[in-house]
Amino acid sequence: MAGAGIETRVYPDPERLAASVAEAIAALAVRQARTAPRPLGIALSGGSTPKRLYELLAAPPHVDRIPWRQVEFFFGDERSVPPDHPDSNWAMAKRALLDHVPAPAHRMEAEIGDADGYARILDDRIARRRDGVPVLDLVLLGMGDDGHTASLFPGTAALAERRRFVVMNEVPQLHTRRMTLTYPVLNAADRVWALIAGAGKRTVVAECLARAADPGDPPARPILGVRPTAGELVWHLDAAAAGSTA
């Protein structure tokens, strides 16, 4: 099962999806610590499936296996709320993972709208470049029922951004604004893994895979704008989202 340029991996249920991705991240971190003299840069996502992934990474065997001081965490997006707010991606990741491991992590200060400040963090902390854009080793994404990913929502201005790495994106359908990485950063990454679970995503998953060869510009389903220029793109799906059995 795949769309043009999208590799898909299907698991029986969300638990096995999270467990498989946790194992893959652990293996990646161990391998890079042995071969590369720099931290493994990972952009975290919000959502229930990533939360379970983070909990698994913070528990044995992975918490004892991963060289955490050679991992550095960033975020793909954030709501305009304080860091202790129940809706904060930072708060969720902190409880599930960051409080339990000694890896540095960089919070998006979306509540004060400092997108330029976060872009400077990316510039300062990530030395590698691809066409002038900082290269993350791994970006974790989710997908909403409308096909949004990070905080790139249908019909919003951030879909057309090609110069800035981080923006505050007005999301009128939710009556809010959010901070988000833009397509240039997502598409410069070495690896982009989307974690998508639940029967509620099935129709959009099928539509996206059918339209992957010609997503439009900007795409009606923002996740289809994530097309790494040199890296890999994998959608990790549970059977309910894929509409199949694994």
Q: What is the pLDDT of residues 188-220, one digit of tens each?
A: 999 999 999 999 999 999 999 999 988 888 898
Q: Residue holding tokens 């339990």? A: 100
Q: How confident is the model at residue 221 (pLDDT cuts 50, 70, 90)?
A: very high
Per DSSP bridges, beta strands 77-79 and 176-181 are: antiparallel
Q: Residue 3 has what pLDDT?
A: 55
Quote the tokens at residue 161.
């951004």
Paired residues of 74 in beta bridges: 43
CA distance 80 to 18: 27
**CA proximity to 137, closest of 9, 13, 11, 25:** 25
- Long-range own/partner contacts, residues 81-87 (CB < 8 A, 24 or more apart): 81/110, 81/111, 82/111, 83/107, 83/111
User: When comparing pLDDT for 209 and 5, which is higher?
Assistant: 209
The half-sphere exposure of 134 on its side-chain side, counting CA atoms within 13 A, is 23
Percent of the chain with pLDDT over 90: 90
2-242 CATH fold? Rossmann fold (3.40.50)
* Domain ranges across the chain: 2-242
Neighbour count for residue 172 (Cβ, 10 Å): 10
**Global pTM exceeds 0.85:** yes
* pLDDT above 90 for 116: yes
Assess whether pLDDT exceeds 50 at residue 245.
no
5 or 120, which is more confident: 120
Does residue 244 surpass a pLDDT of 90? no
pLDDT in tens, 146-160: 999 999 999 999 999
**What is the pLDDT of the chain when averaged over all its residues?**
95
241 pLDDT band, cuts 50/70/90, is very high
- Residue 112 has a pLDDT of 97
pLDDT at 115: 98
Of 168 and 48, the structure prediction assigns the larger pLDDT to 168
Measured distance CA(221)–CA(92) in Å, rounded: 26
The mean pLDDT value for 215-243 works out to 94
Q: What is the DSSP letter of 76?
A: S
CA distance 234 to 55: 21
